Structure 1
């Protein structure tokens, strides 16, 4: 666990294995990471908006907390995926598979439905 977290914060740890990949692949990996961070920020912003602007309703707090927590989870997942992908590229391995985008899409769809219900009530 700590070794994984150390890779997130220590660029030398990522660079300590394998060979340097084509810089275009590393930059593409970084752009993907930044896209995931934008998604995380949007979820956090949505959570804050729900907590402030949705009318008083029992679902309001649940939806807001869920969006805020999901935003934090997406940010952590983004940095983990970036580090694992960079390591795989350096070692010439296949990129790590992930079900996270599909799970996130389902969660967002369910959340959108809950927001719709809360807004209509």
Structure 2
């Protein structure tokens, strides 16, 4: 997290709403899903030295070509329901039905190759 797009193809989508509401819900629960950008800093604070930070892009659908990208997509989709259910039900009081209905559109957006979204890791 955060999920972003290389262009404006994510604007106005359920996926864009998801990328806003999930971090808000996690924060409301005292957690953060936006920590990956701080991992090198955390490692240094813990006493590690000679830290090498490499940045990668984890696409959320098959818009880029390659088997690795497709595997990463499967991993993300497996985690989507659990992360969403925890944040939306506990932080905002959404029902399982509300969450499931919302995720239908989020999953459609994730699978839509016209939406060029990714997570920087």
Q: Answer yes or no: same fold by TM over 0.5.
A: no
Q: TM-score, normalised by structure 1?
A: 0.32
**Greater gyration radius:** 1
Higher helix share: 1
